[in-house]
Chain A
């Protein structure tokens, strides 16, 4: 059964990084369709083009050839219909936690009264568990707290699509578990279509409806994850489905790592 119109359609997209004389191909003829409300994890080793694909989706880069559409319309640049969470947080240092979230609410273009904005900001801050730190500045926050703010700010934009580029790459493992569950819960709650870039197998299994494994420059294969949401890690790791997926991913991942190494040797 196929649904009528995909939320996001990536068709035959290629992209090169151009330096002074040479062009390095980063993506070659990549195609992918993402349904509304789907949680996609782009999984792959560093340098395989997953972050490049995300920057094409958020519109900061334009493809060399091919087309990406959102709701049937081609993506021409960054826009509030797609909210982004970066690995390096990118919070505004002159605004408090709440101020950063308020910035997102203002940019959402929705007509809110001052009171509504305040209430909404407080709600988002509460949802990421930062009520006690609402009036602190980013320089006074830990990495995990900063990333929570970034998530709240992105949610505040009320975009249909949420793009996350290795958001928890720089966060310690214990905190990462917490944040993964937070994002998983919030995305289901807010019914967002999500593209989540990661190189962490467990993270992908915990979060994704579909895992897209990337090999250098192309999509290697896609694995649907049919586990029900919300997923709880302790229960998840005891299921057979989890073990199967994990095995498949490791196989896919190792092949790919070898490929990357081969490519490196060939160069």
Chain B
């Protein structure tokens, strides 16, 4: 708590402003009715809970922050929510079909929690299998190609051509080739992650310090041992970097892959409510995607740090 006050006083005014926006927003959500009769009224409970959760997280973050940090982003965020709320409560938006009210948007999570959870879980499973197989195969093949020139001279040019084709382009053919839409979706994610991982691994093996290899050879490390005991650990940082870098591509392909025709997944959720013209649910789905991908991103960078701690 002491640190919070000590933080140069810099974040104080911003914190107060953000807090004021938050409190005003909650009061508005709980009391004032909509001005426009064309907007459907939703119970504001879910919205208030989300807003409060955001504010508590922000406050805890500030208290835990070691560095002097500004709160501009919190001011903007809570300001945005307040404006959104106000535009409904003051009647600036007359129809909530295209622009849902904040209460309406977050109410989706109360209406269909099971559906959303099932879809998120479905997406994560697709992502997991595609990502895992691609990371393993990409690394193994990349190490081999990096170490054996003959394999490299075949695979590297091929990979350079194929990576230029967006993996989603394969989807039409993959659906025909593989027995289920699910497998096709996994395959698309696989290709989005496999080639970057492969190329990253190959180039990292190429950059290996020859004196390290020589030292290992003088210590009696043989060809196979070299690959696993020396080259793999040496290349770990590069491999992890390219794998985590291709995560973004995997997310993109995931949503695309889910539109291939499988009936589960958050991409499918968005696609479905788009065709019902229920943009409230579409937006709610997009928010979930943002939330989940951010969580995965944080998780991956944590794992990254613990796996290659010697570079930090």
Please tell me if B31 contacts chain A, counting CB pairs below 8 Å: no
Q: Counting CB contacts under 8 A, is A60 at the interface?
A: yes
Instruction: Identify B221's interface contact among A96, A107, A153, CB under 8 A.
Output: A107
Pairwise interchain contact A82-B218, C-beta atoms closer than 8 A: yes
Residues of B close to A60: CB separation below 8 A? 214, 217-218
Q: Which B residues are CB-close (under 8 A) to A59?
A: 218
Q: Assess whether B220 is in contact with A79, with CB atoms less than 8 Å apart.
A: yes
- Determine which of B211, B230, B234, B308 lies in contact with A86 in the assembled complex, contact meaning CB atoms within 8 Å: B211
A27 CA / B234 CA spacing, docked (Å)? 34
Name B233's contact: one of A83, A91, A94, A104 (CB within 8 Å). A94
Q: Report the bound CA distance from A60 to B230 in whole Å.
A: 17
Chain A nearest CB: distance from B213 CB in Å?
9
Please, which residue of chain B has its CB at the minimum distance from the CB of A79?
A: B220
Residues from chain B with a CB closer than 8 A to the CB of A137 are 310
Taking CB atoms, residues of chain A closer than 8 Å to B219 are 78, 80, 83, 103-104, 107, 153, 157
Q: In the docked arrangement, what's the CA distance between A104 and B215, Å?
A: 11
| Majority secondary structure, B binding face | helix
Whether B234 lies near A58 (C-beta < 8 A) is no
B218 pairs with A58, CB closer than 8 A: yes
When the two chains form their complex, are residues A86 and B215 in contact, meaning their CB atoms are under 8 A apart? yes
A93–B310 contact, CB under 8 A? Answer: yes
Residues of A within 8 A of B209 (CB): 90
Kindly identify which residue among A78, A109, A153 contacts B217, using a CB–CB cutoff of 8 Å.
A78
Contact with A along B194-211 (1 / 0, CB 8 A): 000000000000000101
CA gap between A78 and B223 in the complex, in Å: 12
Closest to B235 in A: A94
Contacts of A80 in B (CB 8 A): 219-220
B179 at the interface (CB under 8 A from A): no
Q: Does A184 contact B (CB under 8 A)?
A: no
| B contact residues around A79 at 8 Å (CB) | 218, 220
B19 interfacial by beta-carbon distance below 8 Å: no
Q: Is B287 close to A, CB under 8 A?
A: no
> Is A10 among interface residues, defined by CB-CB distance under 8 A?
no
A107 to B215 CA separation, bound complex (whole angstroms): 12
Determine if B212 and A92 form an interchain contact, defined as CB atoms under 8 angstroms apart.
Answer: yes
Contacts of B221 in A (CB 8 A): 107
For B230, the chain A residues whose CB sits under 8 A away are: 92
CB < 8 Å: which of A83, A88, A93 contacts B218?
A83
Chain A residues closer than 8 Å to B217, beta-carbon distance: 60, 78
The answer to whether A94 and B220 touch (CB under 8 A), given A86-B211, A88-B211, is: no
Minimum CB–CB distance from A242 to chain B (whole Å) comes to: 33
Interface residues of A in 121-171 (CB under 8 A from B): 137, 139, 153, 157
- The distance in angstroms between the C-alpha atoms of A109 and B222, with both chains bound, is 13
Q: Are B211 and A94 in contact (CB under 8 A)?
A: no
A86, B214: Cβ atoms under 8 Å? yes
Would A92 and B234 count as touching, CB distance under 8 A? yes
Q: Would you call A84 an interface residue if the criterion is a C-beta within 8 Å of the partner chain's C-beta atoms?
A: yes
Best-buried of B214, B230, B308, B310 by chain A (most CB within 10 Å): B310
Say whether A78 contacts B234, CB under 8 Å. Answer: no
How far is the CB of A1 from the nearest CB of chain B, in Å? 34
Q: Are B234 and A93 interface neighbours, CB within 8 A?
A: yes
- Return B295 CB to nearest CB of chain A, in Å: 29
Nearest chain A residue, comparing its CB with the CB of B210: A90
Interface 0/1 of B38-51, CB less than 8 Å to A: 00000000000000
B236 contacts partner chain A, Cβ-Cβ < 8 Å:
yes
Interface presence of B306 (CB below 8 A): no
B-facing mask of A88-116, CB < 8 A → 1, else 0? 10111111100000011001010000000
Which residue numbers of A lie inside 8 Å of B, CB to CB? 58-60, 78-80, 82-84, 86, 88, 90-96, 103-104, 107, 109, 137, 139, 153, 157
List 29 A-B residue pairs with CB atoms under 8 Å apart, sorted by A's residue number. A59-B218, A60-B218, A78-B217, A79-B220, A80-B220, A83-B218, A84-B215, A84-B218, A86-B211, A86-B215, A90-B212, A92-B212, A92-B215, A92-B230, A92-B234, A93-B234, A93-B311, A94-B234, A94-B236, A94-B308, A94-B310, A95-B233, A95-B310, A96-B310, A103-B219, A107-B220, A109-B220, A137-B310, A139-B310
Given contacts A84-B218, A103-B229, 4 further A-B contacts (CB under 8 A): A90-B209, A92-B212, A95-B310, A139-B310
**10 A-B pairs closest in CB distance:** A90-B215, A80-B220, A84-B218, A137-B310, A94-B233, A90-B211, A78-B217, A78-B218, A107-B219, A88-B211
